[in-house]
Amino acid sequence: MSPDASPRSVDAVLFDTFGTVVDWRSGVAAAVAEFAQQHGFDADPGEFALRWRARYQPAMRAVRLGEREFVDLDVLHRENLLATAEELGIALDRVDDAEIDRLNRAWHRLDAWPDAIAGLTRLKRHFIIGPLSNGHTALLTNMAKHAGLPWDVIIGSDLTRAYKPDPEAYLRTAAILDLPPERVMLCAAHDEDLAAAQRAGLRTAFIPRPQEHGPAQRADPEPGGSWDVVARDVPDLAARLLDG
């Protein structure tokens, strides 16, 4: 732990959500499998989930660069869903829009990693906790209800009008909480997210999620930066912040 990252050096511990708090790959793959079975599509659910997710950052990049107006993640996810299906030769033209929308909202119905809720519950007794995510408020609220995430506050990207790693995503979140950036910590399993948060003046904590992308994962197997805290999981983060 950084000498400056004492239990009282921050007021809020916020979390990247997709991959850090919830297991998006398993949840999305399960929804794809159900959808494919219902409609008689031949699809590898895990591969579909990975390809769908691979379009996530490129889709947000157009918003960050000002090439299109801000739209929320449901819009981007639906566009990416249709593009992924086309890429894999899956014709959705005969599928009702409502059923496509339900599949798209699989991102609202993701389960937490097994360690997450216990660790968040302990942190909640001492810090403001919430997501610092590219998800919008409705998505993150639905996810919290589905997974039982005990957030104090949910500040979606529709409120900050910025997508990470745009510095405004971090700075506007801190401002909404009426906190200076250095009193806010971001916990994430992704070095790129933490590096951007650190440049914006936030404290940082890394926890590994080696199964986020499945058995073939290569990204972020261990911390790749000088973060304030490196923990095994969310309960270990709570212990390091609170027990020293």
Q: What is the pLDDT of residue 231?
A: 96
pTM for the whole thing?
Answer: 0.93
Q: Which residues contact 79 (CB under 8 A, 6 or more apart)?
A: 59
Distance CA 56, CA 19 (A): 13
Q: State pLDDT tens for residues 63-99.
A: 999 999 999 999 999 999 999 999 999 999 889 999 9
Neighbours of 191 (CB within 10 A): 17
Under a CB-based contact definition with an 8 Å cutoff, are residues 238 and 119 in contact?
yes
Token pair belonging to 200: 């914006």
**24-108: CATH topology:** DNA polymerase; domain 1 (1.10.150)
Residue 50 CB: number of other CB atoms within 10 A? 18
Give the pLDDT of residue 215.
72
Q: Residue 177, SS3?
A: coil
pLDDT of residue 1: 46
Q: How buried is 102 (Cβ within 10 angstroms: 0-12 exposed, 13-18 middle, 19+ buried)?
A: middle
pLDDT attached to residue 218? 61
Q: Which residue has the tokens 């959500």?
A: 17
Spatial separation of the C-alpha atoms in residues 184 and 194, rounded to whole Å: 12
Place of tokens 């529709």: 158
Q: Is 58 helix (H, G, I), strand (E, B) or coil?
A: helix
Count of CB atoms within 10 A of residue 38's CB? 11
Residue type, 83: A
Displacement of CA 222 from its chain's centroid (Å): 18
Show the beta-strand stretches assigned E in the chain.
12-15, 128-131, 184-188, 203-206, 229-230
Predicted confidence at residue 3, as pLDDT, reads: 44
229-230 vs 128-131, strand pairing mode: unpaired
Annotated domain spans of the chain: 12-23+110-243, 24-108
Q: Report the alpha-carbon angle 39-40-43, nearest 5.
A: 105
What is the predicted pLDDT for the residue at 243? Answer: 87
Give yes or no for a contact between 140 and 154, defined as CB atoms under 8 angstroms apart.
yes
Which residue ranges of the chain lie beneath pLDDT 70?
1-8, 216-221, 244
Query: How many angstroms separate the CA atoms of 78 and 195, rounded?
Result: 29
Fold of 12-23+110-243: Rossmann fold (3.40.50)
